[in-house]
Amino acid sequence: MSSQPVGILSTGAYVPERVVGNEELAPRIGVTAEWIERKTGIRARRWADPSEATSEMAVAAATRALEQAGLTADRIDHLIVTTSTGDAPLPPTACLVQAELGAHRAAAFDLNIACSGFVHGLAVAHGLVAQNPGSHALVVAADLWSRFVDFGDRGTAALLADGAGAAVVGAVPGPYGILGTDLLSHGDESSLLVIEAGGSRKPASHATVDEGGHFLRMRGREVSDFVLGKVPQAVKDLLAKTGVRREDIAHFVPHQANGVLLGRLAEQIGFENARTHLTVGEYGNSGAASMAVTLDDANRSGLLRDGDLVLLVGFGGGMALGASLLRWRTTGRVEL
């Protein structure tokens, strides 16, 4: 395995054009616009057009990441799409994205680990690039949750949104790159976030549709307890493993689950100097995509400075956690 550091070379994102504000959504779910913002920190979210699918959002985000890196799709060796809302059970959404991009050299595959998917995808990309010096990986996190919303369940309907984010991963000079990653799963608590029907245990049928089995179900209070109980320790363990002090973290980019929850989480972790990046207020919770969209927003806004320490933290269905620590290299075109 190569000792060459591996990091993020560029980022890209896509959110649908349709803006759904709280004033539009609130009557549909039986609450007020003020209630939604007070409980979630969300003022608006993006929903895909009926003609859009997850693969199309993924292609748009991937194209922007490739353009920022100055790479053509045929330079990609590994294409990883992390999603829980793929276009269909088969073929893998990554293969649809590969065909549309023209990434004909790439090994393309999906990861389904819900809202921590972007960190898991980066970890896989890191290993593949390290094992194949000179290669490039494209990680795309995309979810289209508006198709899985039960508008009778205000706890999820107020949160869920659509979007895609992407990152090109490749070799970087020291001391930049991914310094460490921790991936954790707590399958004994997997019942906290579920879509019960549509798989081999409960195949799609008239009965499962009538029962609402294809909608996302969440035990919200218990999910919050899980996040506040597990994530701070995971961050502490990663910092200890990498020898980085908490006060040296410049940027905290979490999964955009719920703005109120993220405020409590950042306070509980006790960041002293880190900026917590939030896009949930304008874009909502787009699942695996949310962290990648937020990272791209910070990158393209010029907030990430060369050499900054950036902490990515994902958490969600599974119940799974992922934390990754990077020393940021200002993104730009790859030298060919």
How do residues 33-47 score in pLDDT, each as one tens digit?
Answer: 999 999 999 999 999
How far apart (Å, rounded) are the C-alpha atoms in residues 305 and 68?
16
| Whether pLDDT at 205 is above 80 | yes
**Is 115 assigned a catalytic role?**
yes
pLDDT at 331: 67
| Whether pLDDT at 333 is above 70 | no
pLDDT category at 297 given cuts 50, 70, 90 is very high
State the catalytic residue, choosing from 22, 258, 285, 299: 285
pLDDT tens by residue, 76-110: 999 999 999 999 999 999 999 999 999 999 999 99
pLDDT at 112: 96
Residue-averaged pLDDT of the chain: 95
pLDDT category at 220 given cuts 50, 70, 90 is confident
Higher pLDDT, 13 or 334: 13
**Is 273 assigned a catalytic role?**
no
pLDDT category at 335 given cuts 50, 70, 90 is low
Residue 16 · residue 47 · CB < 8 Å: yes
How far apart (Å, rounded) are the C-alpha atoms in residues 227 and 61?
28
User: Looking at the 3D structure of the chain, how many domains does it have?
Assistant: 1
pLDDT at 2: 58
**E strands present in 15-153:** 18-21, 44-47, 78-82, 107-111, 137-144
**Is 95 assigned a catalytic role?**
no
pLDDT at 271: 84
pLDDT at 334: 56
How far apart (Å, rounded) are the C-alpha atoms in residues 152 and 10?
40
3-class secondary structure, 7: strand
How far apart (Å, rounded) are the C-alpha atoms in residues 319 and 114?
9
pLDDT category at 211 given cuts 50, 70, 90 is very high
| Whether pLDDT at 326 is above 50 | yes
State the catalytic residue, choosing from 255, 258, 277, 299: 255
For residues 139-159, average pLDDT: 94
Report strand pairing: 18-21 vs 44-47: antiparallel
Read off φ and ψ for residue 13, nearest 5 degrees.
-155, 160
Per DSSP, helices labelled H in 41-152 are: 54-69, 93-101, 117-131
Cα 96 vs. chain centroid, distance in angstroms? 19
> Where residue 80 sits, what CATH number does that domain have?
3.40.47.10
pLDDT tens by residue, 238-276: 999 999 999 999 999 999 999 999 999 999 998 878 999
pLDDT tens by residue, 272-290: 789 999 999 999 999 999 9
Portion of the chain with pLDDT greater than 90, in percent:
94
State the catalytic residue, choosing from 115, 126, 251, 258: 115
Please, how many CA atoms are within 13 Å of residue 162, restricted to the half-sphere of its CB?
A: 27
∠ CA 270-274-275, nearest 5°, is 120
pLDDT category at 336 given cuts 50, 70, 90 is very low
What is the model's pTM? 0.95
The CA-atom distances, in angstroms, between 91 and each of 98, 104, 108, 121, 264 are 12, 16, 11, 19, 40
How far apart (Å, rounded) are the C-alpha atoms in residues 328 and 259?
25
For residues 154-161, average pLDDT: 94
200 lies in which domain range? Answer: 1-336
pLDDT category at 128 given cuts 50, 70, 90 is very high
